């Protein structure tokens, strides 16, 4: 089975972005998706901004070669640290992940916003909270950097015994915002722990992606033919050798790491479903397994 270019790419440090992919997949059929979890460098939350940027831009070099029609940065941390610079550099639409602070703040009471430290420290996040506080002055918005939580989820997502409560800030909030896509895996545990409403931004991302692509299609309708004919594949899991991308010699900027990753790309397709997903990255087998267990079979 050949790698098909021209699809929609999803990026995260690890498994967190799979929650976003699952939500987006619901709105599409016969679509091509790429998932790249940067497990070699996860978790991102306590890395420097310089390192996070380096890793995210590396992934984007691969996406460019895949001639993506859009990229979803399914990671609040990567969005907080580098979405502006990504948008400056690349022409394709880039959709970010942002904590649903405004939606939660609108409901009033006391809002806990949980995120990684890099998100917590970012100007983007601080500005978002400032905006929410100004708009909803009667809501108390409290922000927390949950060091180690994303890593613990990354390592223990399949262990349902693990309660993760040591990472939860103490208190009695009216609502909790999950400001990291990894936290969505334990959304129910967090909900039970606090006994309150939980917010995440995944549905919003999916709708935004759909709208952007529809607008683009509308705009390009008379200008160019579709990039690639969409195909529905019957599914299986296989290793995939992307020779075309692996060669890539003509391009001076061809990235060694992208070549290795793309050689190891995996294609996943669940029988009977209409989308096709190609998985990239060092630990793509884990992504395939989690996706299958949590979102296809589960």
Provide the binding-site residues for ligand DGL, judged by CB under 6 A.
Answer: 12-13, 16, 42-45, 75-77, 97, 116, 119, 150, 180-182
The nearer residue to ligand DGL, 16 or 173, going by C-beta atoms, is 16
196 is catalytic: no
Least CB distance to ligand DGL at residue 44 (A): 4
Q: Per the residue annotation, which of 24, 82, 129, 180 is the catalytic one?
A: 180
Cis before 77 (ω within 30) = no
The nearer residue to ligand DGL, 39 or 65, going by C-beta atoms, is 39
Least CB distance to ligand DGL at residue 43 (A): 3
75 is catalytic: yes
Q: DSSP letter string over the chain?
A: -PPPPS-EEEEESSSHHHHHHHHHHTT-SS-EEEEEE-TTT---TTS-HHHHHHHHHHHHHHHHHTT-SEEEE--HHHHHHHHHHHHHH--S-EE-----HHHHHHT-SEEEEEE-HHHHHSHHHHHHHHHHHHH-TTSEEEEEE-TTHHHHHHHHTT-TT---GGGSPPS--SEEEEESGGGGGGHHHHHHHHTSEEE-SHHHHHHHHHHHHHHHHHHHTTTS--SS---------EE---HHHHH-TT-TT--HHHHHHHHT-EEE--TT---EEEEESTTHHHHHHHIIIIIII-
Q: Per the residue annotation, which of 75, 129, 146, 196 is the catalytic one?
A: 75
The nearer residue to ligand DGL, 46 or 216, going by C-beta atoms, is 46
Least CB distance to ligand DGL at residue 268 (A): 20
The nearer residue to ligand DGL, 7 or 45, going by C-beta atoms, is 45
Least CB distance to ligand DGL at residue 230 (A): 29
Least CB distance to ligand DGL at residue 140 (A): 23
Instruction: Report residue 158 as tokens.
Output: 């399949």
The nearer residue to ligand DGL, 126 or 254, going by C-beta atoms, is 126
- The residues assigned a catalytic role are 75, 180
């Amino acid at each position: 089975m050949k790698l098909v270019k021209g699809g929609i790419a999803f990026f995260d440090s690890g498994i967190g972005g799979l929650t976003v992919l699952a939500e987006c997949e619901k709105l599409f059929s016969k679509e091509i998706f790429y998932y790249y979890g940067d497990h070699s460098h996860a978790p991102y939350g306590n890395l420097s901004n310089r390192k996070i940027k380096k890793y995210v831009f590396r992934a984007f070099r691969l996406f460019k070669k895949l001639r993506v029609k859009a990229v979803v940065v399914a990671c609040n941390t990567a969005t907080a640290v580098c979405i502006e610079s990504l948008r400056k550099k690349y022409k394709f639409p880039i959709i970010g992940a942002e904590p649903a602070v405004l939606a939660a703040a609108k409901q009033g009471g006391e809002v806990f916003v949980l995120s990684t430290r890099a998100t917590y420290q970012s100007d983007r996040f601080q500005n978002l909270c400032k905006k929410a506080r100004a708009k909803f002055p009667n809501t108390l918005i409290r922000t927390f950097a949950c060091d180690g939580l994303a890593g613990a989820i990354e390592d223990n997502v399949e262990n349902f015994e693990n309660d993760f409560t040591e990472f939860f800030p103490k208190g009695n909030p009216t609502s909790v915002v999950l400001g990291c896509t990894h936290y969505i895996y334990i959304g129910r545990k967090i909900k039970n722990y606090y006994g309150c409403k939980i917010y995440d931004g995944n549905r919003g991302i999916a709708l935004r992606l759909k709208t952007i692509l529809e607008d683009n299609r509308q705009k390009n309708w008379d200008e160019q033919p579709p990039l690639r004919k969409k195909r529905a594949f019957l599914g299986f899991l296989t290793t995939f050798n992307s020779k075309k991308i692996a060669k890539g010699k003509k391009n001076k900027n061809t990235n060694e790491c992208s070549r290795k990753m793309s050689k190891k790309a995996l294609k996943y397709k669940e029988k009977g479903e209409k989308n096709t997903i190609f998985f990239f990255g060092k630990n793509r087998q884990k992504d395939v397994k989690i996706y299958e267990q949590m979102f296809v079979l589960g």
